[in-house]
Homo-oligomer: A and B are copies of this chain.
Amino acid sequence: MASYSVDHHLSDREPNIHRAFDNSIDPVLTVEPGEVVRFECRDAVDGQLDLQSTADDVPEVSFDPVHPLTGPVAVEGASPGDVLEVELLDLQHKGWGYTLFMPGEMGLGLLPDEFPDPGIHVWDLEGDVGKFVNGIEVPLDPFPGVIGVAPGEDGAHDTLPPRSVGGNMDVKHLTAGSTLYLPVEAEGGLFSTGDCHAAQGDGEVSVTGIEAEMFVTARFDVREDMDIEQPQFETRGPFTPTGVDEPMYGTTGIDDDLMEATRKAVRHMIEHLHTERGLTRGEAYILCSAIVDLKINEVVDAPNWTVSAYLPESIFPE
């Protein structure tokens, strides 16, 4: 990545925070193509949890403030039909994060019925490493969970679902060094980001990665030569947690429904982590969300599809 200098800073204080994608929100900053912005981003639940939080605190969390996003930033010359190029230059966490699952009645996560009680792990983040239980250490590959531009359709759009203009895509490969392309639907693009994750497995199965306050540094450009319907990107990964090919333990989920195949792969991995690695099922669910990757092996061998879950074995102590 070429060297860069930051042209603009956006702190995580008002008025830089908003909680919906909405093309009527005035930009808090307008930049020229080529300029670099460093965004300070709040965590997904906006400071309701801290270093000392426990499972008892999880039911008290209000979802009204989710997700606090930093922006929006308008980019000069970005018009509907253009593509906004976002070069991710750096991501910097602030030393801690958390992964949680919710009470079943909230219905969030891949396996809400199997985890009716809440759980949380608060991670110490030290450089490139996050600390879990039992001596397990997880490599960190930070990225923004929510990154997108304003929809062309008027109104306030909930930040939870991703859309064709991006948003809560949770693409873990949007690491520093990656370039994201977003279809522009509103004048100026109106870019926002937040909900950063210090690490996440493909799937984000408990509905949280390692949620962390973070800085996101990005350079913007406008591409009139591209025509895309949904976000596209260039990345060098890492495609394994350590960036090198390494031993993985895999569980399969085989079913005639792709979502149920996904659930089975994760259930089997939770069982593996419980019986072979001595984790509680709740710890296993959290570890799956933070580090276990889901891959679609085949979607063509009708009527059954194969989804697999991949656990890097290097995270366990010798």
Which A residues are within 8 Å of any B CB, using their own CB? 107-110, 160-164, 168-173, 202-207, 227-240, 243-254, 256, 258-259, 262, 264, 268, 272, 275, 293-304, 306-308, 310
Chain B residues with CB under 8 A of A264: 229-230
Known: A169-B252, A205-B299, A258-B262. 10 other contacts (CB 8 A): A163-B254, A170-B300, A171-B308, A173-B248, A202-B295, A204-B297, A228-B268, A232-B272, A234-B247, A294-B295
Count this chain's copies in the assembly.
2
Known pairs A168-B301, A239-B240, A296-B203; A249 contacts B230 (CB<8 A): no
Chain B residues with CB under 8 A of A107: 302
Residue of B nearest to A307 (CB): B296
CA distance A239 to B231 in the complex (A): 23
Q: Which of A202, A229, A293, A301 has the most CB of B within 10 A?
A: A301
User: A244 touching B247 by the CB < 8 A rule?
Assistant: no
Contact among B233, B299, B303 for A262, CB-based, below 8 A: B299
Complex A-B: 25 CB contacts under 8 Å: A162-B252, A164-B254, A168-B298, A168-B301, A169-B254, A169-B297, A171-B297, A171-B306, A203-B300, A204-B297, A204-B301, A206-B300, A231-B252, A232-B250, A234-B247, A235-B248, A237-B240, A237-B245, A239-B239, A239-B248, A243-B245, A258-B258, A258-B262, A259-B299, A295-B295
User: B202 touching A297 by the CB < 8 A rule?
Assistant: yes
Chain B residues with CB under 8 A of A108: 300, 302
Residue of B nearest to A229 (CB): B268
Known pairs A245-B236, A264-B230; A254 contacts B162 (CB<8 A): yes
CA distance A251 to B230 in the complex (A): 8
Known pairs A262-B258, A295-B294, A301-B170; A249 contacts B234 (CB<8 A): yes
CA distance A295 to B171 in the complex (A): 9
Q: Which 7 A-B pairs have the closest CB atoms?
A: A170-B298, A161-B304, A294-B296, A207-B300, A237-B245, A233-B250, A204-B298
CA distance A304 to B159 in the complex (A): 11
Contact among B160, B203, B234 for A297, CB-based, below 8 A: B203
Chain B residues with CB under 8 A of A272: 232
Chain B nearest CB: distance from A157 CB in Å? 11
Chain B residues with CB under 8 A of A244: 244-245
User: A162 touching B306 by the CB < 8 A rule?
Assistant: yes
Chain B nearest CB: distance from A26 CB in Å? 26
Residue of B nearest to A146 (CB): B301
CA distance A64 to B167 in the complex (A): 47
Chain B nearest CB: distance from A21 CB in Å? 13
Chain B residues with CB under 8 A of A307: 296
User: A249 touching B232 by the CB < 8 A rule?
Assistant: yes
